[in-house]
Structure 1
Amino acid sequence: MSRELSNWQELLDSFTETGVRQGKVSKIHQTRSNNAERIKILLEDEELRVVLLKWMNHQVKRQRSLEAAKCFRETGNRQFSLKDYTACIEMYSQSILSCPVENEVELSLALANRSAALFQLDLFEDCLQDIRVALTKNYPSHLLPKILTRKIKSLRKLGLMEDCQTTLAELEASLMHLQVSEKNKIKSDIKVMLMDDQGNENTQDRDSEFDDRIIPFCGENLSFKGASAALDISRHSVEKSRYVVANRDIMAGETLFVEQPNALVVLPDFQTTRCHHCTRELPLKRYPCLSCGKIWFCSNACRQESSCYHSFECGLDSVLNSVGIAHLGARIVVSYGLETILAFLKDTEKVKKISGIDSSYDTKSYQVMFHLVSHTERMAPDELYQYALTTAFLTLLLEQHTKFFQLASQEDRYLVGGLILVHICQMVSNAHAITEICALDENSERQERIATAIYPSASLMNHSCDPTVINSFQGNTLIVRAIRDVRKGDEVFNCYGPHYRRMRRTERLEMLESQYSFVCTCEHCCDTNTEDFQDVIYSFACPSCNGSLVNPSGSYSPAQFQMTLCRSCKTQQSYFTQLKADLEAVSLDARGTEAMDQGDIMEAIKLLTKCVQLRKRALFKGHPDLGKSADKLAQCYAFIGNYEECEKMLRISLIAVEERYGRYSIEMANELQKFTDVLMELASSRNQDLRDELVRHLEEAMFIYRIHYGAWSHSYKELQRKKIHLTKLLMK
């Protein structure tokens, strides 16, 4: 089987196409409930194994040569001269990895050069470690004064004065062969350094970014780690998976989960700017992996904690990045370690017990991870085959390029491979994207995905297209808050993506079944007798009661006589007038927008005013087109300082946004923020009622930003400042 060395997904697609023809795809799918057997079948396919090894070795490329070592070191030297210490550390590390064992001098030079870069980053312990190794590798004697001087400086920075005196003696001895002028210069430098009483200060790891520690509503549930004491795990029957219920009444805004990830993987685009272990933005003082030089940490503590998995992943980042979410599935197994995994599999009691039902739910326990739903048997044959192929590849990678399976039998390797497959399939339906709020400008923010993680407690929430909660992040901590009131005994629902306010029923059902392998049974999906929410929003207005008209299903009668039912007053109404008005409004909106873009604000106001008037009569109050036209007109009035008219238009837009997205949506918060900006302009000249309304809307917007983004977000803090300013204004 000939395979081009393409990217991993192309290779998978090619294997799958061939596997379908040869019956391999159906064979893997029919090997029911035995994932270890699936991996065994694939790895014992010699033709497949050869191609996987060829592709793997092409990606890893770990050949040693003196020429490569020198090339990497010289590149590092150029970057050092440019003071790009992060980049040069990676190059020096690659030089160390590439250097043949017998070329000790070249190896010592790379280590010494890397120690210089580490010193510049105030990583004195790492610097000393490299110096110690370099001195055991036949380091050139004429360079000894330079490296020993650096060693003395590092020891003094760390307050190790006894070791400093010993090294001073070594330095004195190394000066013997130097000329008098060189010797005197080094001695002078040492004397100045010893007189510097600032050297004993020890640099501390940076403090936490977040001062506020969030506590779940009613405190943490000791039997359900990361969850509020107001929540329980329940299960109706053996057939139905576990789910989350409220054990008391919960109000909107309450915090229901504050959970640390069991495992996470930073996305490739952020691996040079984020801590590999905790996702924090890397500070100026950052800690590299001293083996590969490619992975960085925000603190020495993170570097040490990551060793349980990075010791096996080191140098394999490009390969692991290529397999996407499967990397997270493999990391779960690697993090727990071979001994823990095999011990768990042999403990039949633990394997049988369901955490949260038969025992407490400890999110750090492998038992919890093992029993997360994977939907493996529900997957389409080709989808399962690709995940199994990826698992076989990862199992082979651990076998060929790490010591993970060093003490494992062949059967144990298949068992562990089967578990990796389970965890990969779990990640498809249970993984969360860790996001961070990034400011686009002074008035807007967006969520940026920086990592993928698994949160075992929050993963127990089932999906609803009308969810109970909204998720946000504080660093890598998942914060889940209620966005509506929950009664005692009610199930708590998350949203896996498709929301009834944002997607049609048929699209939601198709997406959920395709990605998560289940048919949604929430109220908005099951009740096919009820109209789709999208039809209600995108409807004409009733001329009698301003309610929404049922969208016509088609008629062969003349347009002016076509009739449809009003959802509110239940009367038959003609929609011909509304249709005609909206067609005119479409043209006016386009011309008004063009005038805005050209800077002709007065012409834009004239056109958009007519457009809004027509759409107010023609369209339902929640129709997005009405809201957008009103918002454009508000922008025009704000531009010329007419805040009275701007306020009127934003009130129309606010109604449309609330009808479309809901009271606690982020869109509502953004619209309220604009509205409060305008009310602030009017506050000093209007009555107390308007000021009271302003305070109420400020608090509403702050509440929404808090549950979506957290009290540390730019938008929340901006509204806080606005409220303080208003208080001062009212006191005058």
Structure 2
Amino acid sequence: MANQYGDKLYMAICSEKTLQTNSNGFFMNFAQLVSENAGEIWIKNIFGHNTVIDCGSSLSLALWSRSQVLLSLNEYSLALADIQLALKESLPNIYKAEAFWKMGICYKALNEENRANVSFGLAEKLFASKLKIEDLGRDKMAKFVQNKKEDRRILPSIQGKPHPLFPCASKKLTVKQKEGMGRYVIANEDIKTGETLVVEPPYAACLLPDMFGTHCHHCFDRLVSPIGCPDCSNVAFCKMECRQAALSSYHTYECKFLDLLIGSGMSILSHTALRMITQNSLKRCLEIYKDRKKEKVYSLCTNSSLRSPEDFLQRTLMAAFLLRCLQKIIPTDEEYRIGELLLFHLQMLQFNAHEIYETRYLPDRRFKGSKATYIGVAVYPTVALFNHDCYPAVTRHFVGKKIVIKAARPLQPQDVVAENYGPIFTRKCLQERQRSLSSRYWFNCQCNACIFNWPTLDAGLEPYSIRIKCSNKKCSYYFTLPVSSQILKCPKCQETISLTEQIQLLKWCDEQYDVGHKTMNENQPEKAMDILCTAIDAFHRISCAPHKGTHLAQESLHLCVADSGNVHETLVNK
């Protein structure tokens, strides 16, 4: 019977809400993308009239079907993983002979001849059809080639020998401590632009919930042929090794209440605080509680003495909430110790966590218009020791979950090696930077860019006075250009010096910056990095910041460096 009040559009909206009530979730976007690719005709005429009841074989059949698609794409490694998992999930007997046949093809493509022969042999024993056996025989003699996709990610090694106390960092760095600055990092040797100073895996890392449908929950790689958790439908993994690693530690616990965590609206930092517990056994957590000095992450600042009672209460309640989620697993007589660790995590991560990002770009524009998109959060005990500067000495990018720190300009012994916590002087004015840093990190920045109020790129840096260093290497005086004569007396060292060579070198630097930008836009990032690093080093020998051309060159250098880390080609400019 027709409903006179029926509204098909409203009906569709109500139906969608039974699947997803959170407007920020990814499911309906995913469903819409699948619908657009499948097409209206297929959905109405084929999918809508083919309801399948498979007596519990849905997963194995789905894996089997996907393996056939992957085989057609020459993705033999992924196809093999799907076939093996389908067999493990009780693939119906009618498919088993063909499954071993296809496994043989995959092993051949992966140059594992012995395993290929074993798989082909099992298939021959199971096949009753002579035609199938003849086809199999042809495949045994055929050549198959694994599809090789370009992976531009390169995990570099640190420059020189590792630091004795911080093995993820170069020996060229030293950690100091000073009242008012806390712990900070300085150079103890000359460092050139582009040198790799730190390569560090995270102590703990969490993927953003919005990325659960696009990235591996464990290693943060992009999903191509995802594998789900056997007990929940919240997360996905890129391969069995990642699933096993997660199930053998944190996901065993989090799986049971992940919906509750996300539904609570808690931050990714709160989730990371929990992950620092769930990734360890109870025994290991209690060992950490007993002697925290052995773990560098527990020496990071919390600013607990500066917290308001209201803030401390909120973090205590969050620690209690997270502890309550764990209570069915962790013995109650140990709870208070775990709760204390959680409270420490919640305070420490506020000031020491790093957002992990990937660079997204359009197919026809590898650099121009590329954007950094945050995919997760992690804590890196070594990198957390770096102080902030609005004109940072280093640039950072990510390869998977690992953080890579490279020098963005040359450094001399005793120079502070600072990174940037977000607001950089070239893009944010003094007021915005100070407001952000004092609110987010609870300190007033006293770097040169703030003390001298350097203008942004868009607000006056172009005509900013350029300075040239005195040619006497022992002198630290800088002349402001233009000068009345290139041969003149230095007011500090009192020597008569010539600035001709420095002025010519400054012009050469600007020319090299242009060459570097052009080379980068011609999709030659490695060559561009060499050009830009050499010119940035040369500039700092004869001049000093701020200098618009140099800062633009450093931005290009950052893009080139990030291109060797997490990148993703997207069809959507967002």
User: TM-score over 0.5 for the alignment?
Assistant: yes
Instruction: Give 3-state SS (helix, strand or coil) of 1:227's partner.
Output: coil
What is the CA distance between 1:167 and its match in structure 2? 10
Contact 2:163 2:171 in 1 (8 A): yes
Which residue in the other structure is 1:295 paired with? 235
What is the CA distance between 1:331 and its match in structure 2? 0.7
Which residue in the other structure is 2:315 paired with? 387
Instruction: Give 3-state SS (helix, strand or coil) of 1:215's partner.
Output: coil
What is the CA distance between 1:165 and its match in structure 2? 8.9
**Is 1:340 aligned to residue 284 of structure 2?**
yes
What is the aligned counterpart of 2:556 among 682, 685, 705?
705
Which residue in the other structure is 1:137 paired with? none
Instruction: Give 3-state SS (helix, strand or coil) of 1:705's partner.
Output: helix
Instruction: Give 3-state SS (helix, strand or coil) of 1:280's partner.
Output: coil
Cα 1:191–1:113, aligned 2, differ >3 Å: closer, same or farther?
farther
Contact 1:673 1:701 in 2 (8 A): no
Contact 1:149 1:190 in 2 (8 A): no
Instruction: Give 3-state SS (helix, strand or coil) of 1:436's partner.
Output: strand
What is the aligned counterpart of 1:235 among 177, 180, 197?
177
What is the CA distance between 1:522 and its match in structure 2? 3.0
Contact 2:388 2:419 in 1 (8 A): yes
- By percentage of residues, which structure has more helix? 1
1:148 aligned partner, one-letter code: N
Contact 1:158 1:202 in 2 (8 A): no
Provide the C-alpha distance between the structure 1 equivalents of 2:243 and 2:462, rounded to a whole number of angstroms.
61
**Is 1:269 aligned to residue 213 of structure 2?**
no
Contact 1:253 1:703 in 2 (8 A): no
Provide the C-alpha distance between the structure 1 equivalents of 2:559 and 2:347, rounded to a whole number of angstroms.
28
Which residue in the other structure is 2:339 paired with? 417
Provide the C-alpha distance between the structure 2 equivalents of 1:335 and 1:519, rounded to a whole number of angstroms.
35
Contact 1:156 1:164 in 2 (8 A): yes
1:119 aligned partner, one-letter code: W
Provide the C-alpha distance between the structure 2 equivalents of 1:289 and 1:227, rounded to a whole number of angstroms.
35
Q: Who wins on radius of gyration, i.e. which is larger?
A: 1
**Is 1:435 aligned to residue 357 of structure 2?**
yes
1:522 aligned partner, one-letter code: C
Provide the C-alpha distance between the structure 2 equivalents of 1:200 and 1:314, rounded to a whole number of angstroms.
44
What is the aligned counterpart of 2:55 among 101, 109, 124?
109
**Is 1:126 aligned to residue 85 of structure 2?**
yes
Which residue in the other structure is 1:719 paired with? none
1:705 aligned partner, one-letter code: S
Cα 1:501–1:535, aligned 2, differ >3 Å: closer, same or farther?
closer
What is the CA distance between 1:327 and its match in structure 2? 0.8
**Is 1:459 aligned to residue 384 of structure 2?**
yes
2:454 aligned partner, one-letter code: F
What is the CA distance between 1:390 and its match in structure 2? 2.2
Equivalent pairs, count: 426
Percent of aligned pairs sharing the same letter:
26
**Is 1:502 aligned to residue 398 of structure 2?**
no
Contact 2:168 2:199 in 1 (8 A): yes
Instruction: Give 3-state SS (helix, strand or coil) of 2:356's partner.
Output: strand
2:221 aligned partner, one-letter code: R
Contact 2:393 2:418 in 1 (8 A): yes
Instruction: Give 3-state SS (helix, strand or coil) of 2:296's partner.
Output: helix
What is the CA distance between 1:312 and its match in structure 2? 1.5
Instruction: Give 3-state SS (helix, strand or coil) of 1:252's partner.
Output: coil
What is the CA distance between 1:262 and its match in structure 2? 2.2
Provide the C-alpha distance between the structure 2 equivalents of 1:518 and 1:700, rounded to a whole number of angstroms.
25
Q: What do the CA deviations read for 1:183-206 (whole angstroms, capped 9, x no partner)?
A: xxx867875776574599999998
Instruction: Give 3-state SS (helix, strand or coil) of 2:404's partner.
Output: strand
Contact 1:152 1:164 in 2 (8 A): no
Contact 1:434 1:476 in 2 (8 A): yes
- RMSD value, Cα: 4.8
Instruction: Give 3-state SS (helix, strand or coil) of 1:384's partner.
Output: helix
Cα 1:337–1:517, aligned 2, differ >3 Å: closer, same or farther?
farther
Provide the C-alpha distance between the structure 2 equivalents of 1:218 and 1:382, rounded to a whole number of angstroms.
47
Contact 2:168 2:198 in 1 (8 A): yes
Superposed counterparts of 1:561-640, under 5 Å: none
Cα 1:541–1:209, aligned 2, differ >3 Å: closer, same or farther?
closer
What is the CA distance between 1:341 and its match in structure 2? 0.9
Provide the C-alpha distance between the structure 2 equivalents of 1:392 and 1:229, rounded to a whole number of angstroms.
41
Cα 1:509–1:540, aligned 2, differ >3 Å: closer, same or farther?
closer
What is the aligned counterpart of 2:266 among 316, 323, 347?
323
Which residue in the other structure is 2:189 paired with? 248
Contact 2:427 2:456 in 1 (8 A): no
Q: What do the CA deviations read for 1:614-647 (whole angstroms, capped 9, x no partner)?
A: xxxxxxxxxxxxxxxxxxxxxxxxxxxxxxxxxx
Q: What do the CA deviations read for 1:223-245 (whole angstroms, capped 9, x no partner)?
A: 313212211223347x9643212
Cα 1:487–1:297, aligned 2, differ >3 Å: closer, same or farther?
same
In structure 2, the gaps of 5 or more residues are: 1-20, 22-30, 40-52, 68-81, 105-114, 467-479, 482-505, 523-534, 540-548, 568-574
What is the CA distance between 1:334 and its match in structure 2? 0.8
Superposed counterparts of 1:511-590, under 5 Å: 511-525=436-450, 527=451, 530=452, 532-534=453-455, 538=459
What is the CA distance between 1:675 and its match in structure 2? 11
Cα 1:329–1:148, aligned 2, differ >3 Å: closer, same or farther?
same
Cα 1:466–1:700, aligned 2, differ >3 Å: closer, same or farther?
closer
Contact 2:97 2:122 in 1 (8 A): no
Contact 2:398 2:562 in 1 (8 A): no
In structure 1, the gaps of 5 or more residues are: 1-58, 60-74, 84-105, 133-146, 173-185, 354-366, 549-567, 570-657, 679-691, 717-732
Cα 1:261–1:206, aligned 2, differ >3 Å: closer, same or farther?
farther
Provide the C-alpha distance between the structure 1 equivalents of 2:456 and 2:273, rounded to a whole number of angstroms.
40
Which residue in the other structure is 2:472 paired with? none
Q: What do the CA deviations read for 1:75-132 (whole angstroms, capped 9, x no partner)?
A: 9xx99xx79xxxxxxxxxxxxxxxxxxxxxx9x823x111111123331232122218
Cα 1:333–1:252, aligned 2, differ >3 Å: closer, same or farther?
same
Q: What do the CA deviations read for 1:150-182 (whole angstroms, capped 9, x no partner)?
A: 33444455568989999999x89xxxxxxxxxx
Provide the C-alpha distance between the structure 2 equivalents of 1:486 and 1:306, rounded to a whole number of angstroms.
41
Provide the C-alpha distance between the structure 1 equivalents of 2:136 and 2:519, rounded to a whole number of angstroms.
63
Superposed counterparts of 1:386-405, under 5 Å: 386-400=314-328, 403=329, 405=330
Provide the C-alpha distance between the structure 2 equivalents of 1:541 and 1:351, rounded to a whole number of angstroms.
50
Instruction: Give 3-state SS (helix, strand or coil) of 1:109's partner.
Output: coil
What is the aligned counterpart of 1:224 among 166, 175, 178?
166
Provide the C-alpha distance between the structure 2 equivalents of 1:422 and 1:479, rounded to a whole number of angstroms.
26
Cα 1:701–1:510, aligned 2, differ >3 Å: closer, same or farther?
closer
2:556 aligned partner, one-letter code: Y
What is the CA distance between 1:673 and its match in structure 2? 3.6
Which residue in the other structure is 1:565 paired with? none
Instruction: Give 3-state SS (helix, strand or coil) of 1:242's partner.
Output: strand
Instruction: Give 3-state SS (helix, strand or coil) of 1:462's partner.
Output: coil
What is the CA distance between 1:335 and its match in structure 2? 0.7
Provide the C-alpha distance between the structure 1 equivalents of 2:348 and 2:550, rounded to a whole number of angstroms.
40
Provide the C-alpha distance between the structure 1 equivalents of 2:371 and 2:98, rounded to a whole number of angstroms.
45
Provide the C-alpha distance between the structure 2 equivalents of 1:699 and 1:494, rounded to a whole number of angstroms.
17
Provide the C-alpha distance between the structure 1 equivalents of 2:456 and 2:135, rounded to a whole number of angstroms.
77
Query: Normalising by structure 1, what TM-score?
Result: 0.50
Query: Normalising by structure 2, what TM-score?
Result: 0.62
Provide the C-alpha distance between the structure 2 equivalents of 1:437 and 1:541, rounded to a whole number of angstroms.
28
Provide the C-alpha distance between the structure 1 equivalents of 2:514 and 2:173, rounded to a whole number of angstroms.
31
Cα 1:521–1:345, aligned 2, differ >3 Å: closer, same or farther?
same
What is the CA distance between 1:501 and its match in structure 2? 3.7
What is the CA distance between 1:263 and its match in structure 2? 2.1
